[in-house]
Structure 1
């Protein structure tokens, strides 16, 4: 049995501080399931364990873009580059097993909490309801993530047992049905506002529901779910660049994020993204293909606009380009052309640095307290626009949703032209999702759910060579090879692996 299976199916794995590989049940430093689940403090510790598993999974979600046509991963050992290249298999790279294991760890922790809290007396009813709602939300989140990457998986709704290692896969449809049931139940239990910053709210449950429905092409339901969130008081933050700075965390646009506190519980996003010339790793860098996606300020593509000057290609562009990406020739902390070694670009989004002349360069922090935004109001507008367009065509509400994003004060792009066909609007929405949500973990899922992954990836060149996407297998990850080492397993591998 693999080590992580011991974590998943052990009796005591719910604590944020407890990631030991093997449970020592006789140790006086451990707490058994018989002596735990007695007080509100116990419940809070169990809930923190679920949040901890979520944060461990999501601090790497910027790497999801390197598997798409948005970005490139400079370092193969970081666990994603081989997927982008199409050379991955069931044994690796690391992301193949990390995502699977982290999700099932989170599911196990949620199931333990849900099972035990039901039998506890004396808990404040509001606290109990909110805690159950948060656990249901996270169980749904982890299962949804599994279906997105692997398809159908074993559906487990009870505390972990050793025999769960022999369960067969349930269909994706069965798992998604449970995901939606959990999110509906969570929304009914959760408050609209939490007293503790960063905790899951009713809006987060409804927002995730809209994403689940969208990703599963349930257009009418997705539009309705998104519209519900649109009526909950969220709004766009006026400055796109500043939306992703630590000083502006938890603003009215953010619906659901992973909370980090530096340096004790920071993430490594700024270090991964930052220019290598001032102490970053440049692990994830934009592709030229992505840079070319940004329109000119007249709303036309670089191929169509009379404003485009090949000798000055980054001027008169959608302002989100320079608010997201540092381009060749830019000055960063007093260094000109600071990113030329890796294709001339690096990301500014999710870093604190801008293009201003500072004589003394300050290195990127090894850990950042900047939160990773998982769902924000702009995505809800995009979800509504796509779902409504697919369900009934480009009516005035579809235009309004997209144009609201384009009219953000720091962006101020022209509205979409009137009279678009359904297909033309579809392409406009797909463009807007790619530009607006860059580095937010959606593009790889988008190109697969739209069925265009082979079209945009095959033949795409980057610093490592030419991408290959095999449509007969690569729309899903393989089930990690270690799962098939479990005695008596009934799992079946995905096609092509």
Structure 2
């Protein structure tokens, strides 16, 4: 299934049932404006088409917005709905909160509908039907991982329900949600193959199921289960790091050995607008919608493995990007970088360029822009990108394994190997190996590795919540580049009229959307909302 060629089939059409008319003759008529349930669920191909459509509900570019709700990135325009979340000025009526809720339950309903109906298909190929069930289970569990991370207790729904049944739902304790996710993903892993032929690239695999189980259990603080699931992925011996971090988010690297799970796209057919969303303003009016902050840039070590706050690091604030972990320049557009159009990126307020801070309200207010997913191939038509959006990769699995073992205080050579593979297992990333076996030190190292390795990929919000550090790292002004002004002095940019807020008494979970509570009075609200 190369890039989901069959995703034009909208699942809603599959789910739509033909209306039964009073005229008995019409009972024999097959509707020609939609797919009838009575005409569907007949063949193996019907089942394949149906599961293909479930992938439409996976996250795409929206994951890029999540880091902007943390300390390492910023929603660039203060009138964007999610900017109010960053500033703490939101409540249960937030459309961002509501959209994430409804999109997740849309995917859950679709997967549950599939699982309830697929056994109607006449097939002698039990292996294929089981594989398709496994895919649906992975896709449903993926949605529940998000819901549990965002909201905590949420309704656990595993079958299609009526409107009236929906109005009687109650929130399920989050511990039970995590139980369900783990069970669902382990059942899926037993049904799925390790890999597919080229025509079916992009389908959920055994590795995707186990990798998501590792993620879910880490989020839940179930470290033994997280370590075991991650270890199973490692022992499949089919995944590894892409040789180049720089090229990891390029068209040339699609479907590489590091990708466990992604949402696949194709130009002109099933496209998105990541270039338009993230690119600097000079690049055909790129939106700079979510931009990195100084907090992220400062997290990258020097090439000899020291923090820039270390007096022995040799860090020079006048040359802040020299002698730094290469992942920095591969993740963020920095001063002097050559942009897809061929011009140099010059964000300083006194640069006189389209990317200068303050030149327009769209230009990055921090002076940094995200480089991941920005490809020259998309420059000509920024709203027509076909680059796949990676949802889970092997580097995360390695760091999950290491973190879980550290928290269990089961520190051995395998823990250091996992961390050091991420730090120096690529041709273009060669940070010094970690040798310490002290739990507290390793905890800080693995957390920093997650920050820089997975930067701007949508994991930071869940991390700082589960580590219970969000109320410490989030609040305060937003800072950007440091540059030399006309007087020759070093100046650090502070974003105007923006102050991040994180209330420890309520912001560790989002509120249950008010629209949902208006429809169902049995849905309780999270503390503080």
TM-score by length of 1: 0.90
Q: Which residue of 2 aligns with 1:121?
A: 122
Q: Confirm or deny: 8 A CA contact 2:13 2:35 kept in the other structure.
A: no
Cα–Cα, structure 1 residues 151 and 287, in superposed 2: closer, same or farther, change >3 Å?
same
Deviations 1:463-488 (A, max 9, x none): 241111011111111111111221x5
SS of structure 2 residue aligned to 1:415: coil
> Which among 164, 168, 171 is matched to residue 169 of structure 1?
171
1:251 deviates by 0.6
Q: Which residue of 2 aligns with 1:42?
A: 46
Superposition map of 1:200-239 within 5 A: 200-232=204-236, 233-239=238-244
Q: Confirm or deny: 8 A CA contact 2:218 2:404 kept in the other structure.
A: yes
- Distance in 1, Cα, partners of 2:381 & 2:302: 31
Q: Which residue of 1 aligns with 2:527?
A: 495
Structure with higher Rg: it is 2
- Distance in 2, Cα, partners of 1:235 & 1:115: 36
- Distance in 2, Cα, partners of 1:135 & 1:368: 26
Matched, 1:276 2:281: yes
> Which among 478, 502, 524 is matched to residue 461 of structure 1?
478
- Distance in 2, Cα, partners of 1:265 & 1:25: 31
Which stretch shows the higher mean deviation, 108-117 or 332-341?
A: 332-341
Q: Which residue of 2 aligns with 1:295?
A: 301
> Which among 307, 311, 317 is matched to residue 318 of structure 2?
311
SS of structure 2 residue aligned to 1:184: helix
1:393 deviates by 4.5
Cα–Cα, structure 1 residues 396 and 77, in superposed 2: closer, same or farther, change >3 Å?
same
Which residues of structure 2 form unaligned runs of 5+? 1-7, 21-30, 348-354, 358-363, 480-494
SS of structure 1 residue aligned to 2:319: coil
Cα–Cα, structure 1 residues 439 and 466, in superposed 2: closer, same or farther, change >3 Å?
same
> Which among 423, 429, 433 is matched to residue 411 of structure 1?
429
1:153 deviates by 1.1
SS of structure 2 residue aligned to 1:159: coil
> Which among 402, 407, 410 is matched to residue 419 of structure 2?
402
Matched, 1:326 2:333: yes
Q: Which residue of 2 aligns with 1:335?
A: 344
Which stretch shows the higher mean deviation, 209-218 or 261-270?
A: 261-270
- Distance in 1, Cα, partners of 2:313 & 2:46: 64
Which residues of structure 1 form unaligned runs of 5+? 1-13, 355-360
Deviations 1:142-168 (A, max 9, x none): 111111101111111112222123211
TM-score by length of 2: 0.85
> Aligned residues, how many?
473
Q: Confirm or deny: 8 A CA contact 2:15 2:37 kept in the other structure.
A: no
Cα–Cα, structure 1 residues 268 and 391, in superposed 2: closer, same or farther, change >3 Å?
same
Q: Which residue of 2 aligns with 1:382?
A: 399
Q: Which residue of 2 aligns with 1:131?
A: 132
- Distance in 2, Cα, partners of 1:23 & 1:287: 50
Q: Which residue of 2 aligns with 1:6?
A: none
Q: Which residue of 2 aligns with 1:259?
A: 264
Deviations 1:395-437 (A, max 9, x none): 2221111111111220111112x33421111000000000000
Matched, 1:197 2:175: no
